[in-house]
Structure 1
Amino acid sequence: MTPLLWRLSIMYTNWRMDKLWFRHRPKTSTFAILLLLFMIPLTGCSLLPAEEEPLKPPLVKPAQENYRTEPVVRGPIAQEVRGNGTLESYESDAISFAAEGGRVKEVFVRAGDEVKKGDVLVQLAVGDLDIQVKQLELNMLVAKGKLREAKLSENADAIAAAELQYEIDQLKYSRLLESLENKQLLATMDGTITYVAPLEEGSRVEPYETVVMLSDPKKLRIAFQVDTTSDASKIGVGFTAMLKFGDEEIAGKVTQTPSTAPFTEDDILKQRYMNHVYVESDQLPETAEIGDRTDVTVRLQEREDALIIPRSGLRSYLGRTFVRVLEDGGKVREIDVEQGIVGSTVVEISKGLEEGQLIILQ
């Protein structure tokens, strides 16, 4: 056999052997795969370290709860009503047009103006009233001349007729002149204008409608607004009031309350009297004037030696009034109490507590 044929024979034999091996190579069976999957967790368990038991938490003593407390003490207490007041005159005049109104022609004043008695404050339109007055003046002169002539004639009937005509013309003149004068609103006294209705030229003014408020600046009192549904409704005439002007504090007396206000038909005053308390003092600063403001404190009731606690220590629930008391050993106990005077920061306990007990604050 030639070398070439020998080599080709060897190559063919190797090719056949490779093909045969590839066709009959071992394949992994389904059973072997399942077995392998089953063994993995078992071997894994043996490879991982054994789990240790968790440590028990250390025993910790619970923290003691901290309370804010105040002792029950004895001391003075007062119930007060506080407000901010304004100085105003207690002698004021609400000026209005009487008998008849009309259309505004001109307003001569505004709030804060100083006026003298008789000054014109507001002028209404007069139409031709001034001409009619002049005509009646002329008629009176004519009637007076005829009366003189009748007396010279010594005719009794002529004299009576002339006198009657003169009286008629005089009555007409007086009434028309009064109507003309009523078209002017005049100051009734020396004083300060404290209110002017919002009027413009052509505005309609009704009879007895307050147009201007005129006040005497030398006769002053303090007015402060109150809530009549609160403790302020307990304020009475004669109660002491403290007035503070800057750093100066003076005493005064309540002279009028909503329940003692005088009757008035003026709607503005009526509304004001319903919710204002008035205080007067003869110690007002010399510089005090209408419009100045002052702090007002009216004392309703007071007690010098009372059992008192902070208001934040008093509790209410479903109609029950009680306090929480901290006793020896940290024990907390609830005690029903009765309250007395209620101050701005403290409250009187009239029943249920003793001096020295510790009250837990809210």
Structure 2
Amino acid sequence: MQARRPFFSCSYAGNRYSGIAPRAAALLALAFTAACGEAEEAPKAERAAVPVFTTQIEERELVQPITGTGTIAAQKTTDMGPQVDGIIDEVYVRVGDRVKEGDALFKTRAIDFELQVKELESRVKLARAEMRNAEREFKRIKELRSKGVVSIGQLDKVQAAYDVASAQYGVANAQLEQARQRLKDATVRAPFDGVITQQDIYEGKFMATRGGGMGGPSGVVQIQKIDIVGAIVNVPAVHLSKLALGTPAKVYIDGVDEVYDSEIHILNDKVDHTTRSIEVRVGLKNEDYKIKTGLFTRAEFYPPPRKALVMDRSALLGIEGARYVFVPDQGRARRQPVEAVQLDAASVEILRGLEAGDKVLTGPMLGTLIDGLAIRIEESNSGETAPETAAMLTPTQTGTR
């Protein structure tokens, strides 16, 4: 008895339909031939290993910047008010003016002080003359007393008159010095080199030295010292242990193209209980006055480096909370769960799941891997797939579509 051939045998297909119409037989034969070809190629595709590359876990010293935002502030800010009561007679500066220490800023009307100085100068002259007369009389009577001509009582009386004249001269001198000081104080001068940043009062306004009275505001102009400015930056308090005086910093300022290198100069001990942030101050040289107070600033602080396991970002798969990589294991891909955090666009830090020196799989076919799939590790000097190699690694070469 003749053995029965399988229905899908390629050699049998032509004979089976030899009795039908030639055109139909040709079409059926072509279909069976194509099916037989695919059936024979499928085992080869399933057995093909997926080409991959590897990257190694490296231990590096990382410096992760700590970022904070804040505002540029002047080194000193002073509202300059009058030092004597009176009408503001003249303001010598305007907003935007740059002044040197000792430059006149404004002047209170000084005519009354000038007249008072003249009056007291005359009073001093009179007191000096009276004192000298009393002194001469005292010396004369003292000499006569030594000769026994006058009594002790007369000598005491003359000495008392001399003491009174001497005291009156001292009082007049003190009053004159006070008047001269008031005249000097009528002109208010810059206490330091700086810029005029605000003017509240103009000529003709009566100003008192005590704020809150009829004089109103206590400041005529505001002066700021900005040859050195401070970046006052708020940083989350969770980073407090990483920051200290002298920690290097880079400061970026809105409207200023330059990046400033500096360090922490002041670390406020007070933590803001509403924002849970700490205030950090960074000094910046500003000799050309290019940096203006009030500008928004961002600062990056660089604490001491720490050791970390770093991996190429392209090897990491999965979603947040379920990250994993594939590692080579005797010619096959093995799925390895990991904990990782992003460092930058190109790298991640491995917190758990891998050790320094471990190799993980990467490459353009990484997304097609499953646990246990056969792999073929390709060599690459750069650790990345060359463009022409990547173009050749199409899904059909791995038996997948």
Question: What TM-score do you get using the length of structure 1 for normalisation?
Answer: 0.51
Match of 1:200 in 2: 202
Matched, 1:132 2:78: no
Q: 1:278 aligns with which of 279, 282, 288?
A: 282
Query: What's the offset of the Cα at 1:242?
Result: 4.2
Unaligned runs of 5+ in 2: 1-53, 139-157, 212-217, 271-277, 328-332, 368-401
Query: What's the offset of the Cα at 1:309?
Result: 6.7
Match of 2:184 in 1: 181
Distance 1:97 1:292, change over 3 A: closer
- Is the contact between residue 68 and residue 236 of structure 2 (CA under 8 Å) also seen in structure 1? no
> SS of 1:143's equivalent?
helix
Distance 1:192 1:314, change over 3 A: farther
- Is the contact between residue 267 and residue 280 of structure 2 (CA under 8 Å) also seen in structure 1? yes
Q: 1:79 aligns with which of 64, 71, 77?
A: 64
Match of 1:151 in 2: 135
Superposed CA deviations along residues 49-90 of structure 1, whole A, max 9, x for unmatched, are xxxxxxxxxxxxxxxxxxxxx988535643214578999886
Q: 2:245 aligns with which of 221, 225, 237?
A: 237
Looking at structure 1, the residues matched to 323 and 226 of structure 2 have their Cα atoms a distance apart, in angstroms, of 57
Query: What's the offset of the Cα at 1:334?
Result: 9.9
Q: How does 1:3-18 map to 2 (within 5 A)?
A: none
Q: How does 1:192-271 map to 2 (within 5 A)?
A: 192-193=194-195, 195-196=197-198, 198-201=200-203, 202=205, 204=207, 212-213=222-223, 215=225, 217=227, 220=228, 223-229=230-236, 234-242=242-250, 251-259=261-269
Equivalent position amino acid for 2:244 in 1: G
Looking at structure 1, the residues matched to 181 and 317 of structure 2 have their Cα atoms a distance apart, in angstroms, of 72
Superposed CA deviations along residues 216-251 of structure 1, whole A, max 9, x for unmatched, are 84xx4x632422336675532111234689998775
Looking at structure 1, the residues matched to 85 and 104 of structure 2 have their Cα atoms a distance apart, in angstroms, of 16
Root mean square deviation of aligned Cα: 5.0
Equivalent position amino acid for 1:324 in 2: R
Equivalent position amino acid for 1:170 in 2: N
Query: What's the offset of the Cα at 1:300?
Result: 2.5
Equivalent position amino acid for 2:349 in 1: E
Query: What's the offset of the Cα at 1:313?
Result: 7.6
Match of 1:291 in 2: 290
Looking at structure 1, the residues matched to 171 and 87 of structure 2 have their Cα atoms a distance apart, in angstroms, of 30
Percent of residue pairs bearing the same amino acid type: 19
Q: Which protein has the larger Cα radius of gyration, Structure 1 or Structure 2? A: 1
> SS of 2:234's equivalent?
coil
Question: Structure 1 residues 232-241 or 351-360, which shifts more?
Answer: 351-360
> SS of 2:118's equivalent?
helix
> SS of 2:170's equivalent?
helix
- Is the contact between residue 61 and residue 306 of structure 2 (CA under 8 Å) also seen in structure 1? yes
- Is the contact between residue 77 and residue 348 of structure 1 (CA under 8 Å) also seen in structure 2? no
Equivalent position amino acid for 1:255 in 2: H
Match of 2:37 in 1: none
- Is the contact between residue 326 and residue 336 of structure 2 (CA under 8 Å) also seen in structure 1? no
Instruction: Give aligned pairs, total.
Output: 259
- Is the contact between residue 233 and residue 298 of structure 2 (CA under 8 Å) also seen in structure 1? no
- Is the contact between residue 79 and residue 344 of structure 1 (CA under 8 Å) also seen in structure 2? no
Question: What TM-score do you get using the length of structure 2 for normalisation?
Answer: 0.47
Match of 2:99 in 1: 115
Equivalent position amino acid for 1:258 in 2: N
Q: How does 1:18-29 map to 2 (within 5 A)?
A: none
Looking at structure 2, the residues matched to 102 and 323 of structure 1 have their Cα atoms a distance apart, in angstroms, of 76
Distance 1:181 1:343, change over 3 A: farther
Distance 1:247 1:176, change over 3 A: closer
Superposed CA deviations along residues 100-144 of structure 1, whole A, max 9, x for unmatched, are 777644432345534344322233355833332332222112212
Looking at structure 1, the residues matched to 70 and 252 of structure 2 have their Cα atoms a distance apart, in angstroms, of 10
